Amino acid sequence: MSAKNAAGSENRSGRSAYEIDMLNGPLFGRILVFALPLMASGVLQLLFNAADVVVVGRFTGPTALAAVGSTGSLINLLVSLFIGLSVGANVMVGRFYGAHDDEAVSETVHTSIAVSLIGGLILLIVGVTASRPILTLMSTPDDVIDQAATYMRILFIGVPMSMLYNFGSAILRSIGDTKRPLYYLTIAGVINVCLNLFFVIVLHMGVAGVALATILSQAFSMVLTIRCLMLENSSIHLDLRKIRIVPRRLIPILQIGLPAGLQGCIFSISNVLIQSSINSFGSTVMAGNTAASNIEGFVYTAMNAFYQSNLSFTSQNYGAGKTKRVDRVLFCCQVLVLLTGLILGASAWYFGGTLLRIYNTDAEVIRYGLKRLSICCISYFLCGMMDTMVGSMRGIGYSLLPMVVSLIGACAFRIIWIFTIFQWNRTIETLYISYPISWALTFLAHLICYLIVRRKMHAEHGLQAQKS
């Protein structure tokens, strides 16, 4: 070990109270300690949107509810690419941190923040100018499109702040800190709910009010996260004067992050196509789909915590050369995500009627919402297992392969389904069944790819051990 890395190792001996040792000791307990704050953080992020949906559904009406819901897949499409780059930042910071290379960690942190600023500004411009034309292409109904466009434009004004928060929290996750992002989101969540009620009930601002409340609360969580990095004494310390792109750190971030982002876009493209097909059934079906999708979002967020855990644990252990522990990380995360998906998915379906009434009391809206829950929630564990496989692949540096598999297994399959099976039997159930089928097929493909990559990883590790 070099003198620089040895010093980094010594400095690492006194770990922060927020940091988790991912390289030593039993895994199940550490993964749960890492994942539970992530679950809570994800739930709070969902509450930003859920608060929007509940407030407009209860106090403005089904049309406003449909307007807010119809934008979700489109916003995800535009944002996914740059959120994927935060995955690249997470992996590379974790890898260098596991290898005790503090200089590389610092350069990667400052490059990542620079990328988040640039990406946020690009998304602001694209989102504000292209929202209405894209909504028109999605066949958004006339009684919905004006409010949907207003909601999207305001949200995209706040995207630079959202990008900074996401990259900042990804850096904290890479060293095992999932608690402080949770604390910041708790504060921001309370602000969001209070502002929602004030803007909609008191000021009667409708969808514009809930969008404004969301971006103001996001700004607050961003400020707290950036301040946290600036006060850090470890190698992830952020110095605003050093924010710049270091080419040798940007390249690996892009190599991992771009395929991750494109994969997110691929899923979003297929979801936009499905949303366009749902739009053709009218605003009542759209409202039911919106409410059900929000309920599913909480299940997905709980499962996604194990994808994030797998990503962070794998990248650190791979950086430290502990390849056998990488396999154990995947096994633990798959067991946990399977149990989480089965329990929460079945619960969401069983209590679906009660949960849907929180969003809207219209009987037809609830009926259509239950149709989605009965198909997607019961099988949602497949989606979690699929994503967790991807976490292992990205954590060891393979990001292009999962993207290609997702292109075929998710995007291409769903597009073919929409233009063949759905055209033959144009029902809402036919659309929804495409989700679990694509999850199962894509999971199996990812598993096969991982087994191939795993063999190569262990062979390379064996050669390195012989040389040393």
Q: Are 123 and 153 in contact (CB under 8 A)?
A: no
- For 139, left (φ over 0), alpha (ψ -120 to 50), or beta? left
Say if residue 334's pLDDT is above 90: yes
- pLDDT at res. 249: 92
Query: How large is the average pLDDT for residues 330-344?
Result: 95
Say if residue 14's pLDDT is above 60: no
Q: What is the DSSP string of 291-328?
A: HHHHHHHHHHHHHHHHHHHHHHHHHHHHHTT-HHHHHH
What does each C-alpha distance from 168 to 89, 110, 117, 174, 229 come to in angstroms? 9, 10, 11, 10, 7
- pLDDT at res. 439: 92
Q: Which residue pairs from 226-231 have beta carbons closer than 8 angstroms and sit at least 24 positions apart in sequence?
A: 226/113, 226/164, 226/168, 228/168, 228/172, 228/180, 228/184, 229/109, 229/113, 229/168, 229/171, 229/172
Q: Are 18 and 177 in contact (CB under 8 A)?
A: yes
Query: How large is the average pLDDT for residues 145-169?
Result: 87
Query: How large is the average pLDDT for residues 38-50?
Result: 74
Q: What is the DSSP string of 108-151?
A: HHHHHHHHHHHHHHHHHHHHHHHHHHHHHHTT--HHHHHHHHHH
Given pLDDT bands bounded at 50, 70 and 90, which one contains residue 8? very low
| List of residues 6+ apart from 394 with CB closer than 8 A | 87, 91, 256, 260, 311, 314, 315, 402
- For 204, left (φ over 0), alpha (ψ -120 to 50), or beta? left
Say if residue 425's pLDDT is above 70: yes
The residue that leads in pLDDT, 61 or 382, is: 382
**Which region among 230-239, 322-331, 408-417 has the lowest average model confidence (pLDDT)?**
408-417
What does each C-alpha distance from 116 to 122, 247, 295, 309 come to in angstroms? 10, 15, 29, 22
* C-alpha span between 423 and 427 (Å, rounded): 9
Say if residue 250's pLDDT is above 80: yes
* pLDDT digits 0-9 by tens, 351-393: 988 988 887 788 888 888 899 999 989 899 999 999 999 999 9
**Which region among 115-119, 236-240, 249-253, 261-265 has the lowest average model confidence (pLDDT)?**
261-265
* C-alpha span between 247 and 93 (Å, rounded): 15
Q: Are 115 and 143 in contact (CB under 8 A)?
A: no
Q: How far is CA 355 from the centre of its chain?
A: 23
DSSP-derived 3-state class of residue 261:
helix
Query: How large is the average pLDDT for residues 54-75?
Result: 69
- pLDDT at res. 147: 80
- pLDDT at res. 297: 85
**Structure token pair of residue 353:** 């009627």
**Which region among 221-235, 267-281, 333-347 has the lowest average model confidence (pLDDT)?**
267-281
The alpha carbon dihedral of 397, 236, 261, 325 has a sign of positive
Q: Are 234 and 241 in contact (CB under 8 A)?
A: no
Burial class (CB in 10 A: 0-12, 13-18, 19+), 233: exposed
Map 387-444 to HEC letters.
HHHHHHHHHCCCCHHHHHHHHHHHHHHHHHHHHCHHHHCCCHHHHHCHHHHHHHHHHH
DSSP state for residue 105 in the 8-state scheme? H
